[in-house]
Amino acid sequence: MQELNDADLTRLMSPYYLYGFKEDEVVIKGLMIEKGKLIANLRVNHLFYESKGVFYHFSALQAVHWFQQLGIIYARWDNSPITKMGTPRKISYKFIKYITKREFPVIVEILQYRKTNTGILYRMVANYDEGNIFAEGSMFLPFDEEVVPVSG
């Protein structure tokens, strides 16, 4: 078996996953929330490949990031005014079509809410841009974590 050195690895790795994702800027432009559901409008301000002259698309890495972030927002809202940070437990994705729009909705629905001895488990699904990306997973909110007050 061949061992690769750092130069070999850098040459073979995706520039996007190596350093490019750090240049992506995706923000929430609006958010509506109710018991069991969250709708966020995401806006792509900049993506790494734009510096190369191409808009490209919303990435799988961004989809993972936003599933986790929206799950944390929902869990903290649902346990307001005092809440903890959530931890993603399991996530699966289905990518149907590249999202090349600057703005698009993400609809998160809570399928299950279950209290355990150690915390709260949310099972949820997310639909990005009318089904172009679909995610399903769970978020766990532990009881033993430091309490963080939510301002507002």
In which band, very low, low, confident or very high, does the pLDDT at 51 lie, cut at 50, 70 and 90? low
- Could you report the per-residue pLDDT of 71-120, keeping only the tens digit for each? 888 888 887 655 566 677 788 989 999 888 889 999 999 999 998 888 88
Domain edges within the chain? 23-149
- pTM value is 0.81
Cis (ω within 30 of 0) for the bond into 149? no
The CATH number, out of the four listed (3.40.50.300, 3.40.50.10420, 3.10.129.10, 3.30.420.140), of the domain defined by the range 23-149: 3.10.129.10
The runs of H, that is alpha helices, within the chain are: 6-12, 15-18, 60-78
